[in-house]
C-alpha cells in the first residue's frame, strides 16, 4: 500500500513550518489588524482613509518616481558596464571585484558615507566641486527640498548599479558565441550585432534583473532613513518610510497594516506583469 | 577565383596549432580539410573566415589579399557545425539576414529568400523558429543563409556531424550536388574520411598543424604519402607491417586468403571474424611477424571461419606500399 | 587605441565605485579638525586611531559588533540546518503532481514580500512572546528571512549531483541521511559555503528589522548602532565612520571569496552562468 504522504515531506516540514509561522501567519495577522478598530469590530476605515490620504498619495508618487528613475539609470549604466568589462582582455576579475564593493556594503554604511559626502558646507562633493570652480551654493543635495529625491536616487544608483552589472554580465556570458560569429560572417558590424543578436538574446536576463531590482526599489528604506529620514519635510518620504512612521511613531498599527497591503498588492501586480512579459517569448 | 593559402601559421601560447600551411584551391573546387581532432583544420578554416588572425603567412581570395581583413569584408559564407542560427529570428529572417545587413530593399530580400528556400525545400518553414525545426532542417537553413548572397567562397565546419547516420549520407549527396550547381569554391572541414572521399575534388590531410598530403581522393587512396595518411584513409584501415628496414603497407582488400595451402603463400591463423553482411572482415595473426601484428583482410560474405583456423595468405605484389621506417614517408616505387 | 580608452573608462568607473568608501576610511582616520577642511584632503593627512578607540574600546560599538556577529552566525546556522534538508527533500524525492515546483515557487515568493508588510505583525507577535529586544527573537526572524534563499540555492546545487551516487551508497548499506551527510554534502561544499556567506552578509547588513525589533542598547546590532548615532543632533563623524569601516570589512572579505556564486544567488539561479 503506497502512502499518500510524499516521502520528502519530513525533510521539508520544519522549514515550511518556520516560514508559515513567520511569514504567512504575520500576514494574516496583519490583515486582521488592518480591518479591526480599537474595540475589535470589523471596519474598513483604514482602507477608506488610505484613498483620501494625501500624504500617502505623495509617498506613492515619490516611490514610483524613485523606482522608475533609479531603475532606468541603473539598467543603462549596468548594461554599459557589462559590455565594457566584458570586452576587456585582462584584469576583468579585478574590475569586477572592485565594482561590486558598493553593493556589498551594509546599506547603512553606504548611507553614512554619502551623508558625509553630501554635506553642503563640509562635504567632499561640494568641496571638490568648489575647488574646480563650480558654484556650490545652489547644490543642496539631500538638504534641499527639490534636490533631495534626486540625491537619494544617486546614492541608490551608486550602490546598486553593480547588481545590474553583475546580472547582465552573467547573461552576456551565457549567450552562445556561434550566432555572433555567424553575424560577423554575414556582414554585420559591432553595433548591428549588438542590436540584432545580443540584445534579443539578453531579454530574459534583462527582465529578470529589472524585476529583482524593482522589487527592492519599491521597499527602499535603509538609505533614506539615514540620509534624510524622509525629509526635508516629506520630500523623500517613500511608502515604506510613511508606513514606518505611522506604525512606530504614531503607533497606528491598523493603518500601517492597511498601507502595507496596498504596497504588497502593487508589488504582486507589477511582478506578475513583468513575469508574463518574461514568459511571452 | 582561387583561394591561395601561403605559409599560414597560428600560435596559441607556445603551441603551434597551424604550422606554415600552404595550398591553393582552384575556382569551383571542393577542397576538404581532413584530419583527427586537434590537427588544426578548424583553426585554419577560422582564419580563412576571418574569425581568427594568423600570426604569419598570407591569404588571397580572387587575387585580393584578405589576410587581415574583418570577417564581414571578405565576402565569404560559413556553415557552422552547430548551424549557429539566430534563435530569436524566424527562418525567413535568418536566411535574409546577410542581405538585410547589406541594406538591400525588403522586396528584394523577400524574393531572394523565397528563391533560396524553395531550392532547399524550406518554403513551408519560413515562419517557424529554429527551435521548432529538426536537425536536418536547421542544417538546410544554415546552408540557405550561406548561399543567398553568392559569396566568393563557402566554408563549412563539420556541418554534417550533428546529424544521424542516415541523414548524413543523404545530406552528403545534396551538398555535393549543390556545390556542383553553384560552382563556388568550397573549403570543408571534417574528421570523417568517408565524407572526405565522397565529397572532395581534392583532400588536404592535416596532422599537428601541417599538411601531410594534398591530392585527389584516388591518389590519396592509392599512393598515400606517408604511414599516417595510409592509415587514416580507408576503412578498415591499411595494414602496416614493420619489417627490419622498412614498413610495408597493404590494404585489406589486397590480401588474398585461402583455407588451403598455396605455393609461396604464408601460413597464419584466424584471430577473429566480423560478418558485415556484404562481406566478412577476417583478422589474421602470423606467428612469424612481430608479436601483436594483426592483418585485416576482406573476404566474401558468409565465409565461416572458426577461431584459430589455419589459413594461407599473400600480399598482391603490385598493391604493396613501402614506407621509410624512421619517418613514415613513402618510398619511391 | 580604442582599447586604451576602454581601460581608462573602466578605471574611472572603478574609481567612482571606490571613492566614497575610501573617503569614509579617511574620515575615520583623520583628526576632527582635519575632517572637514577645504580643500578636501585625500592623502597626506595626519592619521589617528582615536576614533576607533573611542567607538570600540570606550564606546558601545564593540558590544554592537559582538551582537552582529552572534546574530549573523546563529541565524545562518539555523537557516542552513532547516533549509538544507528542505532543499534536499524537494530535489530528491517524488512529489505528486507539480508540488515540488509549487512549493519551490511559494518558498521563493516569500522573498518577494516587502519586509514592511510583515514587520508590524512580527513586532506585535514578538512583543507578546516577550522576545522584543532580544537577540534570540531577532535571530528567529532572520532565520525565516534567509530560509528561502537557502532552499533555492541549495536545491539548485543538489539538482546538479547525479542521483546515482546516493543510490550506489544506499545499495552499499548507507541510510538516506547518511548519504546526504557523507556523500552529497561534501560534493556541494562550495555551494554550501557560498550560501552560508550569503546568509551571513544578509544578516550582517540588515537594518529595518533590527531597528524595529531591538531598541535597547544591549540588543542593538552594528547597523542600528550606527544609525542611532547619526540621527542625533551632534554627530561624531569620526566614530561613525570608524564603526562604518569596521562594519563593512567582514562583508567585503567574505563576499570577495564567494564572488563566483554571487550571481547565482542574486538571480536565484535563473541565469545559467
Q: What is the ipTM of this complex?
A: 0.82
Residues of chain A found within 8 Å of residue C205, distances taken between Cβ atoms: 105-108
C-alpha torsion sign, points C216, C222, C228, C229: positive
The torsion angles phi and psi of B290, rounded to 5 degrees, stand at: -50, 145
Distance from CA of C219 to the nearest CA of A (A): 18
Does the domain made of B3-227 have the CATH classification 1.10.3720.10? no
Q: Does any domain span residue A127?
A: yes
Per-residue pLDDT at B264: 87
Cβ contact, residue pair C85, A261, below 8 Å = no
Query: What is the distance between the alpha carbons of residues B26 and A226, in angstroms, rounded to a whole number?
Result: 75
Q: In this model, does residue C108 exceed pLDDT 90? A: no
Q: Does any domain span residue A11?
A: no
Cβ contact, residue pair A189, B84, below 8 Å = no
Residue among A178, A182, A185 minimizing CB distance to B76 = A185
pLDDT band at C273 (very low <50, low <70, confident <90, very high): very low
Q: Cell numbers at residue B35, please?
A: 584530419
Residues of chain A found within 8 Å of residue B71, distances taken between Cβ atoms: 181, 184-185
Residue B162: CB atoms within 10 A of its CB come to: 16
CATH number at residue A105: 1.10.3720.10
Q: Is C35 helix (H, G, I), strand (E, B) or coil?
A: helix
Region of poorest pLDDT, from A117-121, B37-41, B271-275: A117-121
Per-residue pLDDT at A1: 42
Residue among B51, B87, B97 minimizing CB distance to A186 = B97
Chains B and A touch (3+ CB pairs under 8 A): yes
Per-residue pLDDT at B95: 93
Residues of chain A found within 8 Å of residue C119, distances taken between Cβ atoms: 247
Per-residue pLDDT at B217: 95
Per-residue pLDDT at B83: 85
User: Any CB–CB contact under 8 A between A162 and chain C?
Assistant: yes
Residues of chain A found within 8 Å of residue B84, distances taken between Cβ atoms: 178-179, 181-182
**CA angle centred on B214, ends B208 and B216, rounded to 5°:** 140
Cβ contact, residue pair B87, A201, below 8 Å = yes
Q: Cell numbers at residue B323, please?
A: 614506407
| Cis peptide upstream of residue A50 (ω within 30 degrees of 0) | no
DSSP annotation string for B172-203: HHHHHHHHHHH--EEEEEES-HHHHHHH-SEE
C178-184: average pLDDT = 79
- Quick: pLDDT tens for A10-51: 888 888 888 888 888 888 888 888 887 767 778 788 888 888
Cell 601561403 found at? B6
pLDDT band at C260 (very low <50, low <70, confident <90, very high): low
User: Any CB–CB contact under 8 A between C99 and chain A?
Assistant: yes
Residue among B71, B87, B102 minimizing CB distance to A185 = B71
Cβ contact, residue pair B51, A188, below 8 Å = no
Residue among A6, A106, A260 minimizing CB distance to C248 = A106
> Pick the residue with more confidence: A6 or B171?
B171
User: Any CB–CB contact under 8 A between C29 and chain A?
Assistant: no
User: Any CB–CB contact under 8 A between C136 and chain A?
Assistant: no
User: Any CB–CB contact under 8 A between B56 and chain A?
Assistant: no
Residue C20: CB atoms within 10 A of its CB come to: 22
Per-residue pLDDT at B22: 94
User: Any CB–CB contact under 8 A between B86 and chain A?
Assistant: yes
Residues of chain A found within 8 Å of residue B97, distances taken between Cβ atoms: 183, 186, 188, 196
User: Any CB–CB contact under 8 A between B156 and chain A?
Assistant: no
Distance from CA of B216 to the nearest CA of A (A): 29
User: Any CB–CB contact under 8 A between C208 and chain A?
Assistant: yes
Nearest CA in chain A to B71: A185
Per-residue pLDDT at B90: 92
Subunits close to B (at least 3 CB pairs below 8 A): A
Average of per-residue pLDDT values in chain C: 81
B165-172: average pLDDT = 89
Nearest alpha-carbon partner for C61 in C242, C252, C251: C242
Subunits close to C (at least 3 CB pairs below 8 A): A
pLDDT band at C266 (very low <50, low <70, confident <90, very high): low
Subunits close to A (at least 3 CB pairs below 8 A): B, C
Residues of chain B found within 8 Å of residue A184, distances taken between Cβ atoms: 50-51, 70-72
Distance from CA of B76 to the nearest CA of A (A): 7
Q: In this model, does residue C98 exceed pLDDT 60? A: yes
Any idea where the domains of chain B sit in the sequence?
3-227, 240-324
Nearest CA in chain B to A191: B101
Query: What is the distance between the alpha carbons of residues A97 and A220, in angstroms, rounded to a whole number?
Result: 25
B307-317: average pLDDT = 89
Count of A-B CB contacts under 8 Å:
59
Interface of A with C in 193-232 (CB under 8 A): 204-205, 208-209, 212, 215, 218-219, 221-222, 225-226, 229
Residue among B51, B88, B102 minimizing CB distance to A181 = B51
SS (H, E, C) A109-134: HHHHHHHHHHCCCCCHHHHHHHHCCC
Helices (H), B120-164: 135-147
* Top-confidence range, B202-211, B230-239, C152-161, C232-241: B202-211
> Pick the residue with more confidence: B33 or C159?
B33
Average of per-residue pLDDT values in chain B: 90
Distance from CA of C17 to the nearest CA of A (A): 6
Cβ contact, residue pair C204, A106, below 8 Å = yes
- Quick: pLDDT tens for B234-272: 888 898 888 888 899 999 999 998 888 888 888 888 999
Nearest alpha-carbon partner for A101 in A92, A109, A89: A109
Per-residue pLDDT at B57: 93
Chains C and B touch (3+ CB pairs under 8 A): no
Distance from CA of A205 to the nearest CA of C (A): 7
Q: In this model, does residue C5 exceed pLDDT 70? A: yes
CATH of B240-324, one of 2.40.50.140, 3.20.20.140, 3.30.930.10, 3.90.550.10: 2.40.50.140
User: Any CB–CB contact under 8 A between C97 and chain A?
Assistant: no
User: Any CB–CB contact under 8 A between C151 and chain A?
Assistant: yes
Cβ contact, residue pair C88, A33, below 8 Å = no
Query: What is the distance between the alpha carbons of residues A22 and C144, in angstroms, rounded to a whole number?
Result: 6
Cβ contact, residue pair C251, A105, below 8 Å = yes
Query: What is the distance between the alpha carbons of residues A251 and C254, in angstroms, rounded to a whole number?
Result: 39
Q: For the domain covering C59-266, report its CATH number.
A: 1.10.3720.10
Cell 541521511 found at? C177
Per-residue pLDDT at A141: 82
Interface of C with A in 59-78 (CB under 8 A): none
Q: Is B247 helix (H, G, I), strand (E, B) or coil?
A: strand
Chains A and C touch (3+ CB pairs under 8 A): yes
Q: In this model, does residue C242 exceed pLDDT 90? A: no
C173-187: average pLDDT = 79
* Chain C interface test: which of A4, A8, A127, A251 (most C C-beta within 10 Å): A8
Residues of chain B found within 8 Å of residue A192, distances taken between Cβ atoms: 101
Residues of chain A found within 8 Å of residue C272, distances taken between Cβ atoms: 174
User: Any CB–CB contact under 8 A between B116 and chain A?
Assistant: no
Residues of chain A found within 8 Å of residue B78, distances taken between Cβ atoms: 181-182, 185
Residue B67: CB atoms within 10 A of its CB come to: 17
Q: Is A256 helix (H, G, I), strand (E, B) or coil?
A: helix
Nearest CA in chain A to B99: A186
Query: What is the distance between the alpha carbons of residues A186 and B75, in angstroms, rounded to a whole number?
Result: 8
Find the domain containing A154 and state its range.
Answer: 46-280
Residues of chain B found within 8 Å of residue A188, distances taken between Cβ atoms: 72, 97, 101
* Top-confidence range, B19-33, C210-224, C252-266: B19-33
Per-residue pLDDT at A182: 92
Direct distance between the N- and C-terminal alpha carbons of chain B, in angstroms, rounded to an integer: 36
The DSSP 8-state label assigned to residue B149 in this structure reads T
Residues of chain A found within 8 Å of residue B72, distances taken between Cβ atoms: 184-189
C174-202: average pLDDT = 82
Interacting residues of A166 by C-beta distance below 8 A, sequence separation 6+: A96, A100, A103, C262, C263, C266
Cβ contact, residue pair B85, A182, below 8 Å = yes
| Fold match flag (B3-227 vs B240-324) | no
Query: What is the distance between the alpha carbons of residues C243 and C51, in angstroms, rounded to a whole number?
Result: 9
- Quick: pLDDT tens for A260-279: 888 888 888 877 777 777 66
Q: Does any domain span residue A15?
A: no
User: Which residues of chain A have a pLDDT value below 50?
Assistant: 1-2, 281
Per-residue pLDDT at C272: 43
Amino acid at each position: 500500500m503506497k502512502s499518500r504522504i510524499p516521502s520528502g515531506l519530513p525533510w521539508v516540514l520544519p522549514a515550511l513550518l518556520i516560514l508559515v509561522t513567520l511569514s504567512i501567519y504575520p500576514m494574516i495577522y496583519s490583515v486582521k489588524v488592518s480591518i479591526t478598530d480599537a474595540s475589535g469590530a470589523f471596519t474598513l476605515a483604514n482602507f477608506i482613509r488610505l484613498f483620501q490620504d494625501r500624504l500617502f498619495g505623495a509617498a506613492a508618487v515619490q516611490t514610483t518616481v524613485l523606482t522608475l528613475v533609479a531603475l532606468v539609470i541603473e539598467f543603462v549604466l549596468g548594461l554599459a558596464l557589462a559590455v565594457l568589462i566584458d570586452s576587456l582582455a585582462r584584469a576583468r576579475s579585478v574590475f569586477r571585484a572592485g565594482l561590486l564593493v558598493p553593493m556589498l556594503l551594509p546599506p547603512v554604511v553606504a548611507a553614512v558615507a554619502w551623508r558625509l559626502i553630501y554635506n553642503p558646507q563640509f562635504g567632499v562633493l561640494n568641496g571638490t566641486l568648489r575647488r574646480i570652480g563650480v558654484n556650490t551654493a545652489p547644490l543642496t543635495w539631500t538638504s534641499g527640498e527639490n534636490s533631495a529625491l534626486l540625491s537619494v536616487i544617486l546614492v541608490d544608483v551608486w550602490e546598486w548599479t553593480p547588481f545590474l552589472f553583475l546580472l547582465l554580465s552573467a547573461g552576456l556570458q551565457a549567450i552562445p558565441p556561434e550566432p555572433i560569429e555567424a553575424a560577423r560572417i554575414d556582414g554585420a558590424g559591432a553595433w548591428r550585432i549588438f542590436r540584432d543578436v545580443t540584445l534579443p538574446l539578453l531579454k530574459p536576463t534583462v527582465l529578470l534583473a529589472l524585476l529583482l531590482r524593482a522589487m527592492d526599489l519599491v521597499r527602499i528604506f535603509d538609505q533614506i532613513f539615514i540620509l534624510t529620514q524622509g525629509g526635508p519635510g516629506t520630500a523623500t518620504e517613500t511608502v515604506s518610510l510613511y508606513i514606518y512612521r505611522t506604525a512606530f511613531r504614531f503607533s497606528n498599527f491598523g493603518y500601517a497594516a492597511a498601507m502595507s497591503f496596498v504596497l504588497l498588492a502593487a508589488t504582486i501586480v507589477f511582478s506578475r506583469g513583468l513575469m508574463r512579459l518574461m514568459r511571452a517569448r | 577565383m582561387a583561394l591561395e593559402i601561403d605559409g599560414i601559421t597560428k600560435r596559441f601560447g607556445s603551441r603551434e596549432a597551424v604550422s606554415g600551411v600552404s595550398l591553393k584551391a582552384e575556382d569551383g573546387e571542393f577542397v576538404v580539410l581532413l584530419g583527427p581532432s586537434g590537427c588544426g583544420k578548424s583553426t585554419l578554416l577560422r582564419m580563412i573566415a576571418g574569425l581568427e588572425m594568423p600570426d604569419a603567412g598570407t591569404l588571397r581570395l580572387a587575387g585580393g589579399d584578405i589576410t587581415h581583413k574583418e570577417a564581414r569584408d571578405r565576402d565569404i559564407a560559413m556553415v557552422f557545425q552547430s548551424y549557429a542560427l539566430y534563435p530569436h529570428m524566424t527562418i525567413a529572417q535568418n536566411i535574409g539576414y546577410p542581405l538585410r545587413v547589406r541594406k538591400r530593399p525588403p522586396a528584394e530580400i523577400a524574393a531572394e529568400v523565397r528563391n533560396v528556400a524553395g531550392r532547399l525545400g524550406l518554403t513551408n518553414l519560413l515562419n517557424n523558429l529554429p527551435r521548432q525545426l529538426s536537425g536536418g532542417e536547421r542544417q538546410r537553413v544554415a546552408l540557405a543563409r550561406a548561399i543567398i548572397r553568392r559569396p566568393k567562397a563557402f566554408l563549412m565546419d563539420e556541418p554534417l556531424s550533428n546529424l544521424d547516420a542516415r541523414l548524413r549520407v543523404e545530406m552528403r549527396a545534396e551538398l555535393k550536388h549543390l556545390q556542383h550547381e553553384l560552382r563556388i569554391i568550397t573549403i570543408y572541414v571534417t574528421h570523417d574520411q568517408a565524407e572526405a572521399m565522397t565529397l572532395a575534388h581534392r583532400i588536404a590531410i592535416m596532422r599537428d598543424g601541417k599538411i601531410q598530403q594534398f591530392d585527389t581522393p584516388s591518389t590519396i587512396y592509392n599512393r598515400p604519402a606517408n604511414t599516417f595518411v595510409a592509415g587514416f584513409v580507408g576503412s578498415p584501415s591499411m595494414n602496416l607491417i614493420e619489417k627490419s628496414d622498412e614498413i610495408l603497407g597493404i590494404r585489406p582488400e589486397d590480401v588474398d586468403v585461402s583455407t588451403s595451402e598455396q605455393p609461396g603463400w604464408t601460413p597464419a591463423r584466424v584471430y577473429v571474424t566480423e560478418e558485415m553482411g556484404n562481406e566478412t572482415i577476417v583478422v589474421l595473426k602470423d606467428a612469424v611477424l612481430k608479436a601483436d601484428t594483426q592483418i585485416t583482410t576482406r573476404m566474401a560474405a558468409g565465409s565461416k571461419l572458426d577461431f584459430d583456423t589455419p589459413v594461407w595468405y599473400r600480399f598482391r605484389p603490385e598493391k604493396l606500399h613501402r614506407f621509410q621506417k624512421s619517418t613514415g614517408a613513402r618510398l619511391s616505387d | 587605441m580604442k582599447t586604451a580608452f576602454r581601460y581608462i573608462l573602466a578605471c574611472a568607473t572603478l574609481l567612482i565605485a571606490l571613492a566614497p568608501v575610501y573617503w569614509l576610511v579617511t574620515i575615520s582616520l583623520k583628526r576632527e579638525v582635519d575632517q572637514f577642511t577645504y580643500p578636501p584632503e585625500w592623502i597626506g593627512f595626519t592619521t589617528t586611531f582615536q576614533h576607533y578607540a573611542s567607538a570600540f574600546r570606550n564606546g558601545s560599538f564593540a558590544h554592537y559588533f559582538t551582537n552582529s556577529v552572534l546574530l549573523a552566525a546563529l541565524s545562518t546556522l539555523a537557516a542552513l540546518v532547516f533549509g538544507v534538508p528542505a532543499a534536499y527533500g524537494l530535489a530528491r524525492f517524488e512529489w505528486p503532481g507539480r508540488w515540488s515546483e509549487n512549493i519551490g515557487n511559494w518558498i521563493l515568493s516569500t522573498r518577494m514580500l516587502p519586509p514592511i508588510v510583515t514587520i508590524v505583525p512580527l513586532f506585535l507577535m514578538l512583543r507578546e512572546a516577550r522576545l522584543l529586544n532580544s537577540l534570540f527573537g531577532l535571530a528567529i526572524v532572520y532565520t525565516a528571512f534567509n530560509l528561502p534563499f537557502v532552499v533555492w540555492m541549495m536545491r539548485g546545487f543538489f539538482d546538479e549531483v547525479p542521483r546515482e551516487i546516493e543510490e550506489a551508497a544506499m545499495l552499499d548499506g548507507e541510510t538516506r541521511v547518511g548519504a546526504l551527510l557523507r556523500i552529497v554534502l561534501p560534493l556541494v561544499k562550495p555551494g554550501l559555503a557560498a550560501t552560508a556567506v550569503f546568509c551571513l552578509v544578509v544578516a550582517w547588513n540588515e537594518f529595518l528589522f533590527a531597528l524595529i525589533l531591538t531598541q535597547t542598547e544591549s540588543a542593538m546590532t552594528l547597523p542600528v548602532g550606527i544609525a542611532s548615532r547619526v540621527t542625533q543632533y551632534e554627530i561624531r563623524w569620526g566614530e561613525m565612520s570608524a564603526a562604518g569601516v569596521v562594519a563593512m570589512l567582514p562583508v567585503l572579505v567574505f563576499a570577495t571569496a564567494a564572488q563566483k556564486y554571487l550571481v547565482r544567488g542574486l538571480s536565484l539561479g535563473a541565469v545559467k552562468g
